[in-house]
Amino acid sequence: MSVRGWKAIRKGEPQAIVRFAAVGLAATTVYLGASLLLLNLGWLPLLAHLCAFGLGWVLSYAGHYFFTFRASSPHVATTRRFGLVTVALLVLSSAAQQLALWSGVSPKLAAFLVAGLYAGLSFLLNNFWTFSQRRGSA
């Protein structure tokens, strides 16, 4: 994680944190809404999770690129980093969901647990790595 990212937060970018939270809340709402809808339609929990994850990803990338971080870096570079973070979080969140299900947690509660885990890790990784290059021009 870059020291630059920590300094940016301390030196007065609370608006970026608020924007990150707003985009994250929107993406999480899409994820949870799609997950719960698909679970209610009888989808297998993992398939519902994967589909909902994809929908949330599209909203998350666009929102963070254009609104949260107001990135100016080429989409190729940013998308590559965002994709790596996404794959890592997809694997981790899928494993967390399965662990929760195996431990007896209901599929709907597991969706909420996964959403919280994803949101926290997404902030850390995207703020301090994926979009860290934009700090110099902000």
What is the full per-residue pLDDT of the chain (138 aa) written as tens digits? 444 544 445 444 678 778 988 998 999 899 999 999 999 999 999 899 899 989 998 899 999 889 988 878 788 888 899 999 989 998 999 999 999 999 999 999 998 899 888 888 988 888 888 887 644 444
98 closest CA partner among 48, 40, 27: 48
pLDDT (0 to 100) of residue 10: 45
- In residues, how long is the chain? 138
pLDDT (0 to 100) of residue 76: 85
What is the number of other CB atoms lying within 10 angstroms of the CB of residue 10?
A: 9
Q: How many structural domains are present in the chain? A: 1
Contacts of 5 (CB under 8 A, 6+ apart): 127, 128, 129, 132, 135
CB 110 within 8 A of CB 97: yes
Q: What letters, b where the CB count within 10 A reaches 16 and e where it falls short, cover 52-78? A: bbeebbebbbebbbeebbebebeeeeb
pLDDT (0 to 100) of residue 37: 97
pLDDT (0 to 100) of residue 127: 81
pLDDT (0 to 100) of residue 73: 79
Alpha-carbon distance of 3 to 100, in angstroms, equals 34
pLDDT (0 to 100) of residue 126: 84
Domain range spanning residue 80? 3-137
pLDDT (0 to 100) of residue 95: 94
Q: Is 105 exposed, middle or buried (0-12, 13-18, 19+ CB in 10 A)?
A: middle
